[in-house]
């Protein structure tokens, strides 16, 4: 028997995911693909927002989407109506996407034929915050029906995201959503965060979001 | 709830590290956990025992050191420790402080092996 001893390790538990995400990011960059991911609670409107985004971008660049869900490929079917290439990632019991799932889902796709890829995460505001997927931009969505204090309840996911999108803005008055309070909540957990107010249904705010996205793509030295 | 898969990754990592160092067993894992890691301490502790079952880590302890969120305050030009992860403002001067210096850790810092 050897004697008990304390040995230093210093290793990130999610190292494997982080390394894979880094490799993905490099692959995307080399292929000239801009990648944006979407996180939100279930039902916040990620798919509707993405449908409109894909449809708007289709005429300008080559877009594709990966969409994660525990089960069903209903969301992929909806997104395919935009005629963009779409793949469903069915996670089974896993409540978030990981870099390895993204890598697997990309098999057989020629990234050189894409300009912009969207990754819709599983509806969950907790677990996705720990996993880098190799994206350039992470959007966190919250709908007006969820309450103004969502960022205060889930500060970590808002803190790991780059941009916030308030969805279903056409319903704001009906549900007495306090927009100023929502903005205060976002700024409290992520000072300086850019916030878009959109309605995928009426199209309100979509132009601002699309303009922002296009400027980010250009900032990355990519063409659109 | 992704703490079980995280606990399983830790167990795997510790088993490999112990084997590399010729140790027969792992008595404890020391983990540094930041509030912005997205991992809940209680859920991780619960998952840890489950993840250890049937492995060389069965019966081992998970020792969690919780680290605070440290931000850089541009106005004070120094690092400040936040009192709440709901308020990213300098606790001294009140300036918004989005720059996170520490607080995302999910790191195995040491193992007790024999």
What is the CATH code of the structural domain delimited by A15-217? Answer: 3.40.50.300
Considering only the beta carbons, identify the residue of B2, B98, B112 that sits closest to A192.
Answer: B98
Give the model's pLDDT for residue A99.
96
Q: What is the DSSP letter of A164?
A: E
Q: What DSSP letter does each residue of A122-151 carry, written as one string?
A: -S-SSGGGG---S-SEEEEEEEGGG-TTHH
Per residue in B30-55, pLDDT tens? 999 999 999 999 999 999 999 999 99
B3-68+103-113: which CATH topology? Answer: hypothetical protein PF0899 fold (3.30.2320)
* Distance (Å, whole) CA B106 – CA B102: 11
A161 neighbors A195 (Cβ within 8 angstroms): no
pTM higher than 0.80, yes or no? yes
CB contact under 8 A, A191 and B6: no
Q: Which of B34, B38, B61, B98 to mutate to test the interface with A (most CBs of A within 10 A)?
A: B38
Per residue in B79-113, pLDDT tens? 999 999 999 999 999 999 999 999 999 999 999 99
CB contact under 8 A, A5 and B24: no
Considering only the beta carbons, identify the residue of A130, A152, A191 that sits closest to B38.
Answer: A130
Chain A: give the shortest CA distance to residue B49, in Å.
17
Task: Give the pLDDT mean for A13-39.
Answer: 96
Q: Which residues of A touch B107 (CB under 8 A)?
A: 10-13
Give the model's pLDDT for residue A1.
53
Tell whether A10 lies on the interface with B, counting CB pairs under 8 A: yes
CB contact under 8 A, A130 and B31: no
The ipTM of this complex is 0.88
Q: How confident is the model at residue A120 (pLDDT cuts 50, 70, 90)?
A: very high
Task: Give the pLDDT mean for A145-169.
Answer: 96
A158 neighbors A194 (Cβ within 8 angstroms): no
* Distance (Å, whole) CA A124 – CA A160: 14
- Give me chain A's average pLDDT, please: 94
Per residue in A176-190, pLDDT tens? 999 999 999 999 999
CB contact under 8 A, B113 and A155: no
Given a cut of 90, whether residue A72 has pLDDT beyond it is: no
- The torsion defined by the Cα of B89, B94, B95 and B98, in degrees rounded to 10, comes to 0
Q: Which of B84, B88, B89 to mutate to test the interface with A (most CBs of A within 10 A)?
A: B88
Given a cut of 70, whether residue A224 has pLDDT beyond it is: no
What residue ranges do the domains of chain A occupy?
Answer: 15-217
Given a cut of 70, whether residue A51 has pLDDT beyond it is: yes
Buried b (16+ CB within 10 A) or exposed e, B25-56: bbbbbbbbbbbbbbbeeebbeebbeebbeeeb
């Amino acid at each position: 028997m050897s004697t008990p001893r304390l040995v230093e390790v210093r290793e990130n538990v999610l190292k494997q995911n982080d390394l894979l995400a880094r490799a993905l990011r490099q692959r995307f960059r080399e292929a000239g693909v801009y990648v944006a991911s979407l996180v939100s609670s279930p039902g916040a409107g990620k798919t509707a927002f993405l449908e409109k985004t894909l449809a708007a971008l289709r005429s300008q660049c080559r877009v594709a989407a990966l969409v994660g869900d525990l089960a069903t490929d209903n969301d992929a079917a909806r997104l395919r109506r935009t005629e963009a290439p779409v793949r469903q990632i069915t996670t089974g019991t896993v409540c978030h996407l990981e870099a390895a799932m993204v890598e697997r889902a990309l098999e057989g796709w020629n990234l050189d034929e894409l300009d912009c890829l969207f990754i819709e995460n599983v509806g969950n505001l907790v677990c996705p915050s720990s996993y880098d997927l190799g994206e350039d931009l992470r959007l966190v969505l919250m709908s007006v029906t969820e309450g103004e204090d969502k960022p205060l309840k889930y500060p970590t996911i808002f803190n790991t995201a780059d941009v916030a999108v308030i969805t279903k803005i056409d319903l704001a008055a009906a549900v007495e959503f306090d927009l100023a309070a929502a903005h205060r909540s976002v700024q409290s957990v992520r000072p300086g965060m850019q916030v878009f107010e959109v309605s995928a249904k009426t199209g309100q705010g979509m132009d601002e979001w699309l303009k922002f996205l296009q400027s980010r793509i250009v900032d990355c030295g990519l063409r659109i | 709830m992704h703490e079980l898969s995280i606990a399983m990754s830790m167990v795997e990592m510790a088993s490999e590290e112990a084997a590399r160092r010729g140790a027969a067993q792992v008595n404890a894992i020391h983990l540094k956990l930041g509030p912005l890691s997205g991992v809940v301490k209680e859920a991780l502790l619960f998952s840890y025992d489950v993840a250890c079952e049937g492995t060389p880590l069965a019966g081992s302890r998970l020792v969690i050191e919780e680290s605070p969120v440290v931000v850089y305050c541009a106005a004070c030009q120094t690092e400040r420790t936040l009192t709440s992860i709901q308020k990213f403002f300098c606790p001294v001067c009140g300036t918004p402080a989005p720059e996170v210096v520490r607080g995302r850790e999910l790191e195995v810092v040491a193992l007790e092996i024999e």
